[in-house]
Amino acid sequence: MKRLVTLLALTAALLCSCGSSGSSDSEYFSKKRAIEAGSSQSGSPGSSADDGSTTQQSTTGDNNESSSHDEQEKEWAGFDEFFQSLDESSRTAKNYAYNRDVWDKGGIQGQLIEAGQDTPPQNDLQLGNYKLGYNGCEVIASYNLLTLLGLDADMPKLIAEFEQNALIASDGSLGSEPRKIYLLLDKCGISYETLKSPADCDKALESGKSLIFAFYTGTPYFSGIHTVCITGGEEKYVLNRYNDSESKKLIDSVNDLLKEDKCLIVAYAVSTNN
């Protein structure tokens, strides 16, 4: 029966067409939801139980979450650890060369990506076999958080790392797994909290922390997924709210993004200087 549910979800995903302007990665999310439905049986860190609740542990302090995740989970491979061993004809090497040219010409290194992922220059970057405007929300959310922390987040290198560490499908058609972003945070030595409720997310934002926030855009398991960076403080802003957003979007609460509490997949809270 569970296999049938997954098959039906995949069939429905493949029948979905691209969404209208203002949708959050609609075609990409509609396909990705089938993986989310199937992943409930995987038992991997942050995978969802049959009742839709997350099995990933949350914290009440600013401690890293490595100990709460599956000890068998591999570490995040940094760019310098794998790139020199790649063949020049490999997809990752070719994508890196292409992305380096696009990114350097864009002239936004060190700047936040506040607009939608399907706006230039980020929409022309390549992750797997697809453009970032189609499958890049997790990469962009991570880039924005690292930039908020004042780290030198090099987008072409970060994309190569996601291609090596976090793609759901090997061709990039389903984007990246947001519940693997903690591996990147661990790799960078960033202290974070893993949160499991919208109320905890709002408290973190009100305290001035920023979030990487992954959520279902509709009914859990049967809707799309989006991952964003949200800045906290007196005013809360969502970066890359929609594909075609022209700028960051002001929100009162993370509930502005959710149809129900169970729509939250995972959130990582980090202290930043916004």
Tens digit of each residue's pLDDT (9 = 90 or more) over 183-226: 999 999 999 999 999 999 999 999 999 999 999 988 888 888 89
Helix runs in the chain, H state only: 2-15, 26-38, 79-82, 91-106, 132-135, 137-148, 155-165, 181-187, 198-206
pTM for the predicted model, two decimal places: 0.77
Q: Which residue has the tokens 């004809």?
A: 89
Domain 2-271: CATH superfamily, name plus number: Cysteine proteinases (3.90.70.10)
pLDDT given at position 14:
37
pLDDT exceeds cutoff 90 at 260 = no
pLDDT exceeds cutoff 70 at 20 = no
| 273 pLDDT tier (thresholds 50, 70, 90) | low
Query: CA 1, CA 35: separation in Å to the nearest integer?
Result: 16
Give the sign of the dihedral formed by CA 192, CA 156, CA 86, CA 168. Answer: positive
Tens of pLDDT, residues 75-120 = 999 999 999 999 999 999 999 999 999 999 999 999 999 999 999 9
Helix runs in 39-169, H state only: 79-82, 91-106, 132-135, 137-148, 155-165
Two tokens, residue 27: 């075609």
pLDDT given at position 73:
60
- For residues 167, 98, 81 and 168, what is the CA-based torsion angle, rounded to 10 degrees? 0
pLDDT given at position 272:
85
* Class of residue 129 by CB neighbours under 10 A (exposed 0-12, middle 13-18, buried 19+): middle
> Mean of the per-residue pLDDT values for the chain?
80
pLDDT given at position 209:
97
- 96: phi then psi, degrees, rounded to nearest 5: -60, -45
Q: Which residue has the tokens 């809270």?
A: 269
130 has which bridge partners? 127
Query: CA 72, CA 41: separation in Å to the nearest integer?
Result: 17
CA atoms in the 13 A half-sphere facing the CB of 64: 13
Percent of the chain scored above 70 by pLDDT?
Answer: 73
Two tokens, residue 139: 């990469």
* Helix, coil or strand: residue 210: strand
Tens of pLDDT, residues 223-257 = 888 999 999 999 999 999 999 999 999 999 999 99
